[in-house]
Amino acid sequence: MKPLGPIPAGFAAIEGELAVQGIKASALVEQAGDSPCFVYSSDMLRARIASLRAAMPDRLAIHYAMKANPFAPVLGLMASLVDGIDIASAGELALAQAAGMDATRISFAGPGKRDRDLEAAIAAGVTLNLESEGECERALAIGQRIGVQPRLAVRVNPDFDLRGSGMRMGGGAKPFGIDQARVPALVKHILAEGAHWRGFHIFAGSQALDADAIIETQGKTLDLAAHLAEEAGAVPEHVNLGGGMGIPYFPGDTPVDIEKVGAALGERFEALPDALKSTHFAMELGRWLVGEAGVYLTRIVDRKTSHGELYLVTDGGLHHQLAASGNFGTVVRRNYPVAIASRFDAEPEEEANVVGCLCTPLDRLADKAYLPRAEVGDLVAVFCAGAYGATASPADFLGHGKAVEILV
């Protein structure tokens, strides 16, 4: 038997069945029109952002990294709740603008931007987080050609990373950003060319749960931003501190102490060096904002045994929940939080493998989990499905198609 990850707070049972915002899982599937489906809670999204604002210093802006969940109704709600949106493609730019976000509050990071991506962003007034000197030259040339002053920030590849992070974005050789030693010269070049230099984007890692590690990295980030500004001889109007805060997916994981992180950041803001005294700061978060507000519902279509092991075969799978199957960057597969939605408050009584409908042994949503007895027709819930679920899974694999998504 293998333990399951912790179910996030905010979910309850109605007449024994999982409910989201007072609506039972069976009714949610009926509302979606079919299973499998993703259900996102607007109440949980609002509460999440409110809790973050209460914990963080007033000076800190909150940006949403929309790659975590670009579902249009979710994006529209998030655009009304945050101070900016961070994108990673021209396609995301179009979605962010359609959601009502002003282009001047959108920033564009990511390597491999094509000229047409750069042109769309520059023409709209989006801030480009430059990933290389070559990208800078192309942006400057495009701005001159179309007669628009480009808004340029420098994405820095710092010499440090975020200790304990699930995904390290800085420290050593990386495809992201410009090595910190070369940044001051690039800033001077941007200013000499007459572009609008916005500041720095410094992102060292993500999916960290240790508040002390996040505090340490934010301190190093502020020190680095001040050093680079002094070397460049220019004050940045904006510094994106990255994100880094993760959510508990696996057994033993605990939530980030955001109050501790916010208090430490507030203390640092009170003692900023002259080079950063007038700078605006932002924290860029995706997973932490939306991950726990989503649940994936899939129906059991078969119950079978093989060599003494029980398999609950569902109509969903890794083509919608690649990360939950353990195939999205996980070194050792561990169970996400999973429950029998149709018997949410029942006591566990059997060990079962919850698998999907794909013809691959990788399609496993829960491995040797201790669950209430489930029958064909019952619904299974996979939690922490609000981020990197539908948007980061191979929905077209084997022709099963995308899952329905709804915001309630």
pLDDT digits (tens, 9 = 90+) for 241-261: 998 899 999 999 999 999 999
- Same domain for 176 and 312? no
Residue 331: pLDDT above 60? Answer: no
Cβ contact 311:357 at 8 Å: no
Answer yes or no: is 62 within a domain.
no
Same domain, 146 and 258: yes
The pLDDT > 90 percentage for the chain reads 86
Round to whole Å and give the CA distance between 41 and 142: 41
In tens, the pLDDT along 125-163 reads: 999 999 999 999 999 999 999 999 999 999 999 987 665
Residue environment code for 317-352, b if the CB has 16+ CB neighbours within 10 A, otherwise e: bbbbbbbbbbbeeeeeebbbbbbbbbbbeeebeeeb
Q: Residue type at 365?
A: L
- Span 337-346, pLDDT tens digits: 999 999 999 9
* Whether the bond into 73 is cis, omega within 30 of 0: no
Q: What is the CATH number of the domain that holds 403?
A: 2.40.37.10
Alpha-carbon distance of 50 to 63, in angstroms, equals 13
pLDDT in tens, 202-227: 987 778 899 999 999 999 999 999 99
CB 248 within 8 Å of CB 254: yes
Residues 150 and 242 in one domain: yes
Q: pLDDT per residue over 5-36, tens digit each? A: 999 999 999 999 999 999 999 999 999 999 99
Instruction: Count CB neighbours of 217 within 10 A.
Output: 27
pLDDT in tens, 381-399: 999 999 999 988 998 888 8
pLDDT at 163 (0 to 100): 56
Whether 216 and 197 map to the same domain: the answer is: yes
With respect to residue 136, please indicate whether it lies within any of the assigned structural domains.
Answer: yes
pLDDT for res 220: 94
Ordered alpha helix ranges (H), 257-379: 258-270, 287-290
Q: For residue 297, which of 322, 313, 282, 314 has the smallest C-alpha distance? A: 314
Instruction: Tell whether 280 and 308 lie within a shared domain.
Output: no
Q: What was the pLDDT predicted at 97?
A: 97
329 pLDDT higher than 70: no
- Which domain CATH number covers 148? 3.20.20.10
Task: Read off the pLDDT of residues 354-380 as tens digits, 9 standing for 90 and up.
Answer: 999 998 888 999 999 999 999 999 999
Within this chain, do residues 253 and 383 fall inside the same structural domain, yes or no?
no
The pLDDT assigned to 166 comes to: 47
pLDDT band at 334 (very low <50, low <70, confident <90, very high): confident
321 and 214 part of one domain: no
Same domain membership, residue 280 and residue 219:
yes
Q: Are residues 90 and 157 in the same domain?
A: yes
Q: What are phi and psi of 62, to 5 degrees?
A: -110, 125
**Position 332 pLDDT exceeds 70:** no
Same domain? For 83 and 118 the reply is: yes
The token pair that represents 9 in the structure block? 């707070």
The residue-averaged pLDDT of 292-317 equals: 97
> Of 260, 285, 310, which residue sits at a domain end?
285
What does the pLDDT read at residue 161?
Answer: 64
Question: How many domains are there within the chain?
Answer: 2
pLDDT of residue 186: 98
Q: How confident is the model at residue 173 (pLDDT cuts 50, 70, 90)?
A: low
- Cα 305 to Cα 3, 301, 302: the distances in Å are 20, 14, 10
388/236 Cα distance (integer angstroms): 32
pLDDT confidence of residue 395 = 87
Residue 24, classed as helix, strand or coil, is: strand
How far is residue 329's CA from residue 333's CA, in Å, rounded to a whole number?
10
The DSSP H or E segment spanning 188 is helix 183-192
Q: Are residues 298 and 281 in the same domain?
A: no
In this structure, are 100 and 215 located in the same domain?
yes
Domain limits for position 393: 12-40+292-407
